[in-house]
Structure 1
Amino acid sequence: MSHATTDRDPIPAVPDDGAQPLLGFGEVRTCLIQNLAGLSPSASVALMQLTPGSPVSKVDRPTRRVVSPEQVTGVDCRLHVAREGRGRAIGTVLSHAVVTNGRILQGTAHAALASATAKERREWRHYLRQPGVVEVLGSPKPHNVMDGYLTDASPARGLDLASISDRIIDEVQQSDRLDHTTALRTGTAVVRWAATLAQEAKPTVGIAKSDIPNFHVIRLNGSPEDLPMLIRFCEEFALHEWLLTTVQDVIVPRAEADIARDRDPLDSLLFALNELAPLWMPPTHLSPDMKALWEAMESRTHYSRLFERQVARIRDLRDQVKIRPPRRF
């Protein structure tokens, strides 16, 4: 039986020996749930009960958001370090799934990186005592570790958070609670992020250029205490980026092509207006820091203005379909 609690931030990662994390890494994947109808609140909670007996986080306003319990994955791998230096990553990664409004599914994996205080690998019980913390053996420079992670190829040559976020997406999509049919053919968007963590640092955000379709890179700064907020911000950014990309690059072009070929795109247009447009709810209500991050991002990207234009275009196409004369055979 599922257990719902109030909304909460991801578990903060604190190294067991008191060492402060230097970096935060994460990856978020966003897609439509493979279910023809939107999930009810109770069905969303049941779907997110990935760990029996562990609580599911749930909030109803301003949008309905249900978060699964954190899952722990052990890692022991070489780091992909840019330019110079070598490092080994040992510890645990946290991952969870998010369902928004019974329609959108996200899989997110994240970890805090801290310098190892021992020169040799410890027993696993040491790493299991600090979930979400990955210790770095060796002495690579933090900015080289960050650059190596953000530019790592697929499959990853270093810390592979992509596979972990993929796995939790697959676990949800394969559930027998779903009918495995989607209301709209869309892709999966990926956001890879890395944060530099330093005491008393103010949260900042920057979006790096990526030449890979549906792949976005974010660089952040903040204090170690800001890490749960930064994780949440990246999930919100990933959700809004997926909404904009789906409307701009999928729904509008397909509808325009269908109209040109005298096909009826009304179902997809109404899906966008009724199911997707209401989800555009920037996270400025969550905290002053979240509001500052979003406004800094908006000042460079104008995402909300772009989304509003695409929604207006969808309304125009809907009206065009409704008033056009019937086809003569």
Structure 2
Amino acid sequence: MSRTTIDDDRAARTAEPGRRPPELAFGEVRTCLIQNQGTLSTSASVALMQLTPGSPVSKVERPVRRVVSPEQVTGIDCRLNVAREGKGRAIGTVLSHAVVTNGRVLQGSAHVALTAAASSDRREWRHYLRRQGVAEIIGSPNPNNVLDGFLGDSTPTNGVDLASISDRVIEDVQQSSELDHHTALRASTAVVRWAATLEAERSPTVHIVKSDVPNVHAVRLEGRPGDLPMLLRFCEEFALHEWLLTTVKDVIVARAEKDIDRDRDPLDSLLFALNQLVPLWMPPTYLSERMKALWDGVESRTHYTALFDKQVARVRDLRDQVKIRPPRRF
């Protein structure tokens, strides 16, 4: 794989006159804590996101501070992992970027749109570079088999390897000299792998798919080709909220309960959750009506917000329990 960088305008150009529109899109989002003891300021976050010197970094301050790096471009030429039957080859480029939320949470996000090639012959690289973020499929596998093969793939290095690309973005950020390489909490990285079917006049929908890959959450979406930027943003928001729920439930609450049983003090981690993580729970319903519809679809099946509120209440109970606990007698 080879990687270059592009500006935002070229990254957004995935369709040109005379070219076939994308039929599928794949993506992977990895979410973790930034390796820094303190919360990064806006200026520090912007400096951290300067993965390409001179290229613009985008940012918003409200309702949650979000800073996004310039897009990176990685060339791919690989076979497709096709479920059931069929085979194909994908040639083109993948877009990837990093996201810092509220100076605390880091995401590496990679995605590619896929469309059928006009011929069975491989073209020169300059042909594929004209349409960055798009890969052409040589062969004629069933699109549903291609989508299912990507979502269920336990060895992505044998196919469209977005895992390595998104992970590399995170590594580029975490290795920065701007960070002190210490974290206030030991928490794992969450992975959301998503795939979308893109067809004209198709309304955006989302389905959570059971994944057989450990620590990977799979999402299947539908929408129009023009919905791709919105679907990508939704998956990044979903990945952030999935990580928040998992971290509060399986890391902070679980460890605090064990610490209390062993007469250890978990107050620092409980306060970290309440002060640093809970304020980040801001479902993307404010972004657009279509985004709201997608999140409502997730909520109707998972009740994520109710589950998160329950865990937050448990964090507060544990905090209060620690504060009023009498000192240990020796």
TM range (shorter): over 0.9
Residues 17 and 89 of structure 1, relative CA distance in 2, 3 Å threshold: farther
Alignment of 1:162 with 2:163, yes or no, is: yes
Which residue does 2:316 correspond to in 1?
Answer: 315
Which residue does 1:4 correspond to in 2?
Answer: none
Which has the larger displacement, 15-24 or 110-119?
15-24
- Following superposition, the deviation at residue 83 of structure 1 comes to 1.1
Contact persistence 1:15–1:21 (CA under 8 A): no
Please tell me the residue identity of whatever aligns with 1:108: S
Mapping 1:30-179, distance limit 5 Å:
30-179=31-180
What CA distance in whole angstroms lies between the structure 1 residues aligned with 2:229 and 2:97? 13
Residues 217 and 226 of structure 1, relative CA distance in 2, 3 Å threshold: same
- Give the SS at the match of 1:156: helix
Which residue does 1:13 correspond to in 2?
Answer: 14
What CA distance in whole angstroms lies between the structure 2 residues aligned with 1:214 and 1:326? 39
Percent identity among equivalent residues? 73
Contact persistence 2:13–2:131 (CA under 8 A): no
- Give the SS at the match of 1:187: coil
Which residue does 1:248 correspond to in 2?
Answer: 249
- Following superposition, the deviation at residue 214 of structure 1 comes to 2.6
Contact persistence 1:192–1:218 (CA under 8 A): yes
- Give the SS at the match of 1:182: coil
What CA distance in whole angstroms lies between the structure 2 residues aligned with 1:313 and 1:280? 16
- Give the SS at the match of 1:89: strand
Residues 237 and 264 of structure 1, relative CA distance in 2, 3 Å threshold: same
Alignment of 1:238 with 2:239, yes or no, is: yes
- Following superposition, the deviation at residue 17 of structure 1 comes to 4.3
- Give the SS at the match of 2:306: helix
Which residue does 1:287 correspond to in 2?
Answer: 288
- Following superposition, the deviation at residue 62 of structure 1 comes to 0.4
- Following superposition, the deviation at residue 152 of structure 1 comes to 1.1
Contact persistence 1:12–1:228 (CA under 8 A): no
Unaligned runs of 5+ in 2: 1-7
What CA distance in whole angstroms lies between the structure 2 residues aligned with 1:16 and 1:166? 34
Which has the larger displacement, 204-213 or 37-46?
204-213
What CA distance in whole angstroms lies between the structure 1 residues aligned with 2:38 and 2:17? 45
What CA distance in whole angstroms lies between the structure 2 residues aligned with 1:284 and 1:198? 24
What CA distance in whole angstroms lies between the structure 2 residues aligned with 1:94 and 1:292? 26
What CA distance in whole angstroms lies between the structure 2 residues aligned with 1:17 and 1:126? 14
Which residue does 2:194 correspond to in 1?
Answer: 193
What CA distance in whole angstroms lies between the structure 2 residues aligned with 1:221 and 1:69? 26
Residues 83 and 213 of structure 1, relative CA distance in 2, 3 Å threshold: closer
- Following superposition, the deviation at residue 41 of structure 1 comes to 0.4
Which residue does 1:297 correspond to in 2?
Answer: 298
- Give the SS at the match of 2:12: coil
- Following superposition, the deviation at residue 153 of structure 1 comes to 1.6
Which has the larger displacement, 238-247 or 210-219?
210-219
Unaligned runs of 5+ in 1: 1-6
The one-character-per-residue Cα deviations of 1:270-299 (angstroms, maximum 9, x if unpaired) are 000000000000000000000000001100
Q: How many residues align?
A: 322
- Give the SS at the match of 1:82: coil
What CA distance in whole angstroms lies between the structure 2 residues aligned with 1:171 and 1:115? 32
TM-score (norm 2): 0.95
Runs of 4+, deviation exceeding 4 Å: none
The one-character-per-residue Cα deviations of 1:110-169 (angstroms, maximum 9, x if unpaired) are 010000012201110011111100000011111111011111123532110000001000
- Following superposition, the deviation at residue 14 of structure 1 comes to 2.1
- Following superposition, the deviation at residue 209 of structure 1 comes to 1.0
Contact persistence 2:208–2:218 (CA under 8 A): yes
What CA distance in whole angstroms lies between the structure 2 residues aligned with 1:252 and 1:12? 45
Which residue does 2:5 correspond to in 1?
Answer: none
Which has the larger displacement, 120-129 or 153-162?
153-162
- Following superposition, the deviation at residue 15 of structure 1 comes to 5.6
- Following superposition, the deviation at residue 212 of structure 1 comes to 3.8
The one-character-per-residue Cα deviations of 1:165-184 (angstroms, maximum 9, x if unpaired) are 01000000000110100110
Which residue does 2:29 correspond to in 1?
Answer: 28
What CA distance in whole angstroms lies between the structure 2 residues aligned with 1:62 and 1:199? 32
Structure 1 vs Structure 2 CA RMSD: 1.4
Contact persistence 2:151–2:211 (CA under 8 A): no
TM-score (norm 1): 0.96
